[in-house]
Structure formats: C-alpha cells, structure tokens
Amino acid sequence: MYLTEPEEQVFITPPYLVIEIMSPEDRWSRMMRKLQDYVAMGCENVWIFDPAERCCYRYEAAASIEQHEEISTADGRLQILLSDVW
C-alpha cells in the first residue's frame, strides 16, 4: 500500500505498508526471506496475518516478529483491532 502512487513504472519507492496473508502451505523460513526483502527496500510497516492461527504479527527492521491483538503502523496512521478482522 502506498500513501500516494509513485510515478515510476517499476516501483523502487518502498511501500508504506505490506500485508502478507499466510496460507496453510506457507513456511516461516520462506516468509522470513520475503519480510527481510521488504525491510531492505525501506518498508517500515510489514504485517503478517495468519488466518489458521487467527493472529497477526508485525515484522520490524531488527528482525523481530511480535504478535499483536491490535496492530498499527510505525507512525500510528493506521490501526486495526484483530477482533474486527477475525
């Protein structure tokens, strides 16, 4: 998700928010590589939703993953209560 759409045809501007929704076939090792790529390109807000476990995680640049009942972007512009999702 971008706050404003970038002008470039091939996006090099990091998105404001990336949301990954895990499927039953997803593995954390593969997911971690994707998450690291998002942070490396400069994305500050990376969320992972796991419908099977009915939980949500926020991935941060320090390579930490935290589970949350309420998740928000780093600047607080967007907040979601998981009770509204599940």
44 burial (CB, 10 Å; 0-12 / 13-18 / 19+) is: middle
Q: What share of the chain is helix, strand, coil (3-state, %, to 5)?
A: 20, 30, 50
Is 46:22 a contact under the CB 8 Å cutoff? no
Q: d(Cα 13, Cα 76) in Å, to the nearest integer?
A: 20
The answer on pLDDT for 63 being more than 70 is no
Is 2:13 a contact under the CB 8 Å cutoff? yes
Question: Would you kindly state where each structural domain of the chain is located, as residue ranges?
Answer: 18-85
Say what the pTM is. 0.76
User: What is the tens place of the pLDDT at every residue in 15-42?
Assistant: 999 999 999 999 988 999 999 999 998 9
CATH 3.90.1570.10 fits 18-85, yes or no: yes
DSSP, res 42: T
